[in-house]
Amino acid sequence: MPTVPYTGVPEISPQGGNTPYGHIDTPGAAFGTTIAQEASKAGDMLAKHAIQFQQIQLETMSREAELHAMTEAASARAQFHNLQGADAQKGLEDYYKGLQDIREKWRGTLPPIAGKMFDSTFTRYMGYEINSGATHAAQQNKVWRTQTADAGITLAQNEAAANSGDDIAFKHSVDDISDRINVKARELGWDDTKKTLEFGKDRSGAWERRLEDMAKTNPSRARRLFEDNKQDILGDTQQKIDAHIRAQEHSVGSRVISDAVNQGWGAHMQPQDIARARGVEPALIETLKETQRAHPEWDIRIAPQGGVRNIEEQREIVARGASKTMDSNHLTGRAMDVVFYQNGRMDDALTQKMQGQLRQAMQASAEKTGAVLGKPISWDPDHYELPRDYDTSKFKYAPRENETAKVARAQAEAERQRPDDPIYADVTRQRTMADHYHQERMAKDVERQRQGTIDDWIYSDKPPRSVDELHNASPEVQQAWADLSSKDRAKAMKEIATIAKGATRMDESGYRRLDELRGQAVTDPQGFLDQKIWDEDRLNMQAKMSLRQLQRSTEKKAEDVHLRSALTDLKDLMDEQEITPKNPEQHNQFVGALQRTLEDFQNQNKRPPKYDEVIAMGTRLMRDNARHFMGYQVPLTADTPLFQQEMPEADIEKVRQHYKDQGMSVPSDAEINREYVRQRYQELYGPKAKKEPSGGGSP
């Protein structure tokens, strides 16, 4: 094969001798070592940066998770710390679990390394929150136990008021307060001095509640308990209780005296004494009342179980030897036992000593009332009864004690009870007069209504020709006839007989009397309405019928003119107080109260009121602030204008019972309340009311 002559390296023949050392320094860079080194460094740097970047990324993820977790934890914390009292203690475990759930939730979203970072921070946060939550729960538990103790103390004080007459119940209330104070002392770290002070304060509060409630119905006992237990009542509370009891002594005491006197009883009679008379025959009751009035120096009352008894009571009395018969007149209300009292307690020795004098006095009273007393029973000298053959339906004694006599008896009793308290006597006098007027007014209204019912029957288009036609009359007429006095019934029967004879002619005196009565209907409407038409012997049937029609129309119109004028005068004031037809119930109540006030003014002054007097009436009826009355502040019902006030239910029941006891038609609650407002106005502002001190408010 052909070849190309070529010599790539010069040929050198070997030389003899040593070959000299030859060395050429060539840097590694010439061979790329620097590049390799730099490349290695760059790789290390890149790895380091990669690790740093990864660390930053993990930290960022952890922090974002922490932010979300702490936001949710903060919401849970706020909800938990809003829990109060026992709810915080109950919610603590759920709060812990909620924090753990938040931790696990957000840690689960992270890689392991980020998760560890998250845990290292969030667990410290959780530890703080757990301690904070435990502290809050403990504090709230203490608050709850303290509040529970406070509530228990308040409840015990309320129980003291609710059972004010029960000494044992009150002791239990005080013991309960002591137990609650011990709980508070443990929770709040009180020392013995602090515990004693707090117990004294709350015990004093229990006495305050008890005595204030008791004073409403039994101020005398409240006073005794107050004086005997002052050492358990704080000084400022003592003053408050003393003032409250004194006010109730005036209010309750005067009411008790007034009630007794206005019912004809001795002024010393208490409500429980009067209650014992319920069901006893009026012949006996009126005889006892007459004896009490004749001998005000005696404190005589019906004995406990001395009125009407049931068969079980009689059996028990026989069993203990106090009676020898089961056939007692006490079972039918035809007997009563009368005894002497002294210092508010039944006195057997005094009763025995005074038996003869009492028997004589009761016999004298029976002769006056027309009652017949049975013979004394040797083994029961306190016993007074009616003979079995005595017809009680024939007993008609109905004394009418005048106002002066009633007030004198009431004031004497008030002065006897509280000789060093002139205000008490003044309050009692005013109360007795007011109640007397109230009683008279209501009786007059009932009598007028009864009279009008009979008049409408007699002077109708088809008048009765005899009393026998009564059975065909309405139930209202029949009841009114039954309620008539024997005197008025005789007059009505005479009038019916006159009508049956036919029309009669009137002489000149009759016509003059007719004109006189017609004129009175205009000039004195109330006086005209009080006229009994059947007493007008000079008038014939036609004239009497016309007068009865005029009375009916006068009843509706007599007050209308003055009322419309008064409402016009009061319009601005009524608008200011929002007493307008837009509030019909309130408006009608006010108009009705104003109408009755105008009627009373007309009766007392025999003329219609002037403009300034009308304004004064309206202002007083709308007033709801305290009044200066009889020398001290007397609040009306709180925030209730006078025209909207109502009589206490207990007093309404007394009024009902009084009418029942007197055999009269019982007025409705609404009628009683209307009369109560009328009487309250008269008590405060009527002609017999004590004048206000100067500057005592609006007119």
Q: How far apart are CA 430 and CA 401, in angstroms?
A: 17
> Over 80: is that where the pLDDT of 565 sits?
no
Torsion of CA 342, 347, 350, 353, to 10 degrees: 160
pLDDT in tens, 480-489: 888 888 888 8
Rg of the chain on CA atoms, in Å: 50
Q: How far apart are CA 479 and CA 485, in angstroms?
A: 12
Contact 459, 546 (CB under 8 A): no
Q: How far apart are CA 360 and CA 355, in angstroms?
A: 9
For the residues 297-305, what does the mean pLDDT come to?
A: 94
Contact 306, 348 (CB under 8 A): no
The fold adopted by the segment(s) 269-400 is: Muramoyl-pentapeptide Carboxypeptidase; domain 2 (3.30.1380)
Q: Which of 218, 330, 201 is nearest to 277 (CA)?
A: 330
> Over 60: is that where the pLDDT of 682 sits?
yes
Q: How far apart are CA 541 and CA 266, in angstroms?
A: 47
The pLDDT of residue 662 is: 65
User: Residue written as tokens 């002065």?
Assistant: 415
Q: How far apart are CA 330 and CA 383, in angstroms?
A: 10
- The tokens describing 430, both together, are 């005013």
Better-scored residue on pLDDT, 139 or 419: 419
The pLDDT of residue 1 is: 47
pLDDT in tens, 383-395: 999 999 999 888 8
For the residues 337-361, what does the mean pLDDT come to?
A: 93
The pLDDT of residue 21 is: 52
- Dmax (CA) for the chain in angstroms is 204
The pLDDT of residue 198 is: 92
Q: What does the mean pLDDT of the chain come to?
A: 81
Q: What angle do CA 220, 225, 229 make, to 5 degrees?
A: 155
Q: How far apart are CA 685 and CA 620, in angstroms?
A: 8
Angle at which helix 669-685 crosses helix 422-458, to 10 degrees, equals: 130
User: Residue written as tokens 């845990």?
Assistant: 119
Better-scored residue on pLDDT, 679 or 410: 410
Q: How far apart are CA 322 and CA 327, in angstroms?
A: 14
Please, what is the end-to-end C-alpha distance for the chain in angstroms?
158
Q: How far apart are CA 676 and CA 11, in angstroms?
A: 157
The pLDDT of residue 42 is: 63
For the residues 282-290, what does the mean pLDDT come to?
A: 95
The pLDDT of residue 627 is: 37
Domain boundaries, the chain: 42-233, 269-400, 445-555, 561-685
Query: In terms of DSSP H, where are the helices of 82-166?
Result: 86-107, 112-162
| HEC readout, 200-243 | HHHHHHHHHHHHHHHHHHCHHHHHHHHHHCHHHCCHHHHHHHHH
The pLDDT of residue 29 is: 57
- The tokens describing 221, both together, are 């006992």
Beta-carbon contacts of 397 under 8 Å, excluding residues fewer than 6 positions away, are 282, 283, 286, 369, 370, 371
Output the CA–CA distances (angstroms, integers) from residue 660 to 5, 109, 479, 647, in the order listed: 167, 88, 14, 18
What is the pLDDT confidence band of residue 691, given thresholds at 50, 70 and 90? very low
